[in-house]
Structure 1
Amino acid sequence: MELEQEILTESNGLKDKVVLLDHKTAALWATACAEHVLPLYEALYPGDDRPRVALEAGKAWAKGSLSTFEARKAALSSLDASRKAFKDGNSLASEVAHACSHACTTTQNKEYALHTSISACKAAGDQASEQAWQTQCLEELLNPVS
């Protein structure tokens, strides 16, 4: 709960910067955050591509090549993967698949990008390092190098 409080309500810089993003850029940041921890899921569930498909759907939506409806279907599929991992007793894999679902759901509401950040931080072994990586990624999106 402490992590959620910090990211969603505290002015730690992350929330303040995410609100500056346009919707599509928020979706791209969210997919980058989830993709950063996706290898943790894929190592445990190598035959399950639902989280990766959700991330690809989020990216496709941001590029204008996929409808929100189609992206939502991919997000729900990744959420099912999260529930299965949780049922299997694997909370780490569950958080990663949940992050992928949230990233894809950012296509509907850009505030889900922050929920992606939370789930990715929970999945990462070092939450502080993960949040620092996310902040750096966000800075690069806000201030691209020409």
Structure 2
Amino acid sequence: MADDDTATIELSRSDLRAVTGYAVACARPSLPLYERARPDDRRPRAALDAARAFADGAERTKAIRDGAWAAHRAAQETRDAGAPVASDAARAAAHTCGAAYLHPLAKATQVKHILASAAHTARAYELAEGDDPDVGAAHLARFAALALADGTVVDVLRRYPAAPPGGGRVGQLIRDLDAALRPHPSS
């Protein structure tokens, strides 16, 4: 598939709900990592709750965008405070809201809207275990093994070009998960 500025793909409301539900399921395990560092800060939880409501059938509302921005601020604050585990957990929550706004542009960068919650969750777990990349890889393998990405999510993912290069460790985790979820050409 060409990655250009004009190509578009079909995306239904149910596609967006499935992708958002997947993002929430991927990010939710990292919430305790955030709340351990910031027990009184509900911003990442509120972001997950707003995204979950959309995935469950509610309309996309300002609460989703507000939740994304609030969780993003929480990620920046914890990063600046020297709490990288909490920062990646908050980023996972922020990206759940971005999944609800996946664009129908056939661009590789859109893959992040689908997979960034899982990648930031895996990164948070890596950092919690002494920056061990095997922990992140195992976490992503568990996502694939437990089939959190149902047929709709995989179908939507396949409409886009493969995940783009760059993005540091989180970018690599996105590419690893992208490759694991896309059926191989021989299958």
TM bin, normalised by shorter chain, reads: 0.7 to 0.9
Unmatched segments (≥5 aa) in structure 2: 1-13, 103-109, 127-134, 153-187
* Equivalent-residue separation in structure 2 for 1:68 and 1:137 (angstroms): 30
The equivalent residue for 1:77 is 70
Unmatched segments (≥5 aa) in structure 1: 1-20
* Equivalent-residue separation in structure 1 for 2:24 and 2:75 (angstroms): 16
The equivalent residue for 2:116 is 115
Q: How much does 1:32 deviate? A: 0.8
1:128 aligns with 2:121: no
* Equivalent-residue separation in structure 1 for 2:123 and 2:56 (angstroms): 28
1:87-146 deviation digits (Å, cap 9, x = unpaired): 101111000000000011111017412111211111113102210222134456339xxx
Give the CA RMSD over aligned residues: 2.0
* Equivalent-residue separation in structure 2 for 1:115 and 1:56 (angstroms): 17
Aligned residues: 123
Could you say which structure has the higher helix fraction?
Answer: 1
Q: How much does 1:37 deviate? A: 1.3
1:59-102 deviation digits (Å, cap 9, x = unpaired): 10112324243211111100010010001011110000000000
Percent identity (aligned): 29
1:39-64 deviation digits (Å, cap 9, x = unpaired): 11111110001001000000101123
Moved over 6 A (4+): none
Does the residue aligned with 1:67 lie in a helix, a strand or coil? Answer: coil
Greater shift in the superposed pair: 132-141 or 63-72: 132-141
* Equivalent-residue separation in structure 2 for 1:124 and 1:108 (angstroms): 26
Q: TM-score, normalised by structure 1?
A: 0.76
Does the residue aligned with 1:124 lie in a helix, a strand or coil? Answer: helix
The answer on whether the counterparts of 1:38 and 1:96 sit within 8 Å (CA) in structure 2 is yes
Q: TM-score, normalised by structure 2?
A: 0.60
* Equivalent-residue separation in structure 2 for 1:138 and 1:26 (angstroms): 13
* Residue 26 to residue 140, structure 1, CA distance change in 2 (3 Å): closer
The answer on whether the counterparts of 1:29 and 1:137 sit within 8 Å (CA) in structure 2 is no
* Equivalent-residue separation in structure 2 for 1:35 and 1:92 (angstroms): 14
The equivalent residue for 2:58 is 65
